[in-house]
Amino acid sequence: MTLLIVLGLGWLVSFLGQLPLGTMSITATQITVAEGFTNAWKYAIGVTLVELVYVRLTLSGVGWIMGHRLFFEIANWLTVVLFLTLGVVTIIVALRQQGDKKPVLLNNKIDRFLLGVTMSGLNPAQIPFWFIWSSYLMSLHLLHPTSLEFDIFSAGCGLGTIAGLAAYMYGGNLVITKMKAGTKVLNLIMGGIFIIAALAQLYRVLFVHEALA
């Protein structure tokens, strides 16, 4: 029963974490609309596998993280630059767009599984998110520092991530279809989200990172 609770907690935290509009989730919607569910699922699996690695590293302790802080600092800044560039380019392309056209992020032949792996890998903000939540759950004695519970919790997180992305894949596709919105509108939304994500990441780098140091 305890392990089921741990599994459920992992699912709930990860699922709720996926619900706010973000780069990962809206990309899942874009792939679904532009390329269909098969590629969207490949993307979602790629995102989830990398998030599982982040979750497990976080649960294993901050020692490893602290020993590789330079790596995460570089990744944080690269994320800011990448998201800001993608946001500006996506908006410019969308404003010049005539008719339906694939968004900048999808206008390539990169396997969607690898795209998911890359985007999730360039999102080190998951580290503080999982560190805070795992610490909170352990302080409430809902999660105990054992390998078995960590494994079960991580599995729940993976299921929650898949469920959250699936909500955007199916729900987002339904909304776009019902609204009869073209890809231009979706591209403008995506560009705005990338810029917001870049600014949020910059805030984390400059302020939250220092608070956690």
**For the chain (length 213 residues), average pLDDT per consecutive 10?**
88 85 82 89 95 86 57 70 77 68 70 91 76 76 86 93 91 72 65 77 69 47
In Å, how far from its chain's centre is CA 63? 24
**Residue-level pLDDT at 33:** 83
- CA diameter of the chain: 56
**Residue-level pLDDT at 211:** 45
The stretches of 36-146 forming alpha helices (DSSP H) are 37-59, 62-67, 69-96, 112-121, 126-139
In Å, how far from its chain's centre is CA 3? 26
Secondary structure of residue 125 in the 3-state scheme: coil
**Residue-level pLDDT at 9:** 92
Residue by residue, DSSP assigns 172-205 as HHHHHHHHT--HHHHHHHHHHHHHHHHHHHHHII
Is the Cβ–Cβ distance between 52 and 192 less than 8 Å? Answer: no
Secondary structure of residue 146 in the 3-state scheme: coil
Q: Alpha-carbon dihedral of residues 77, 78, 79, 85, nearest 10 degrees? A: 110
In Å, how far from its chain's centre is CA 107? 20
Closest among 172, 136, 179, 133 to 156, alpha carbons compared: 133
